[in-house]
Amino acid sequence: MHTTLLADGWNGGPGPWILLVPLFWITAIVFVRKVVFGGRRFRGPRAEFGAAFAPRQAPAPSPIDTLNRRYAEGQIDEFEYRERYDLLTALPESPFEKAAPRDGV
């Protein structure tokens, strides 16, 4: 008695179609990620879901901009403004100048 199985295709191995299975799953995963994340790069497990939709914040104003605003609003007077402006724009002293003794000092 000779029986033929319906799924008896393993005589010559699975064939080249076996390469399509991983390709299918890779394509499916990429497609789902594009749909869920909308093409944005995944930021990791700690990223908030709503962070991608939040508006970007403006950069913080520089110290001189803050000083100018406080002077314009009248929070500080001209003397304090000039004193702080000179402090912010002054070049820092080198630590080597203090360490090295001078002849005349």
Count of other CB atoms within 10 angstroms of residue 50? 7
Q: Is pLDDT above 70 for 43?
A: no
For residues 61 and 45, the model is more confident at 61
Provide Rg for the chain, Cα atoms: 35
Reported confidence tier of residue 64, pLDDT bands at 50, 70, 90 = very high
| Domain regions of the chain by residue span | 63-90
Task: Give buried/exposed letters for 5-36 (b at 16+ CB in 10 A, else e).
Answer: eeeeeeeeeeeeeeeeeeeeeeeeeeeeeeee
Output the pLDDT for position 15: 73
